[in-house]
Amino acid sequence: MKQGGSDAAKRAAGEAAAETAEDGMVIGLGTGSTAAHAIRAIGRQVDAGLDVVGVPTSFQSRELARTAGIPLADLDEVTVDLAIDGADEVAGGDLVKGGGAAHAREKIVDASADRFLVVADPTKMAETLSYPVPLEVLPAARTTVAESVRELGGDPDLRRAERKDGPVVTDNGNLVLDCAFGEIADPAALAADLATLPGVVEHGLFVDVADAVYVGSEDGVTVREL
């Protein structure tokens, strides 16, 4: 998880995206520090009378949403009108996500939304994606997937945990391979290749999923529609 952006920039992006919430909406609630600003802002709107339901993308965003007082639903009860989520890197409309190992559920929620807003600070913006792509993999497949990643030109690295022995385990019980591909010239092609590898539960490339990017700064927000 790149942590370089200023909190003010993250806040500007998150709060601007939260402003688009409207009465009656079901809102997908993203994971990470920028999305957290959006969740808290939506919570304040709910306190002020906004009538929305949130669908968390992770354990973390669910906790935050409950603290913020946002009524919650599960994804099988509703359809998502608006999703607001962060990214580890943004180039054009394509994203790398998964620094927080929550990208499988994030993609399920974000891709199902009628409209998906990415919130980011300037440190996340790039000309070309080059952030290592996290792959959530079934434990039994970590070596076969790693081999296939190498054949695709990538350098896979099993993500280790800090507060348990052994690897990071996702909320779904799987492992994470962080795969450095250098500059990713054709994200759509790489995404298609990664999706078909047996044992890959979800990769962190979000291609053609976002509808707009909100980039915050100390001075305000730039919105780019896609």
Contacts with its own copies, residue ranges (CB under 8 A): 1, 31-32, 58-60, 63, 66, 74-77, 100-102, 104-105, 107-108, 111-112, 138, 140-144, 147, 159-173, 176, 191-192, 195-196, 198-199, 201-202
Q: Which of 44, 43, 42 is nearest to 20 (CA)?
A: 42
Nearer to its own copies, 45 or 174 (CB): 174
Nearer to its own copies, 45 or 58 (CB): 58
SS3 at position 155 = strand
217 assigned ligand-binding residue? no
88 assigned ligand-binding residue? yes
Beta strands in the chain (DSSP E): 26-29, 53-56, 82-85, 89-91, 94-96, 115-120, 133-137, 155-158, 175-180, 200-203, 205-206, 212-216, 221-225
Q: How many whole angstroms separate alpha carbon 156 and alpha carbon 150?
A: 7
24 assigned ligand-binding residue? no
**What is the smallest separation between the CB atom of 111 and its own copies, expressed in angstroms?**
5
Give the amino acid at 224: R
**What is the smallest separation between the CB atom of 127 and its own copies, expressed in angstroms?**
25
**What is the smallest separation between the CB atom of 12 and its own copies, expressed in angstroms?**
21
Catalytic site residue from 106, 127, 183, 202: 106
Known catalytic residue at 19: no
87 assigned ligand-binding residue? yes
Residue numbers in the known binding site for substrate are 31-34, 85-88, 97-100, 124
Tell me which residues are annotated as active site.
106
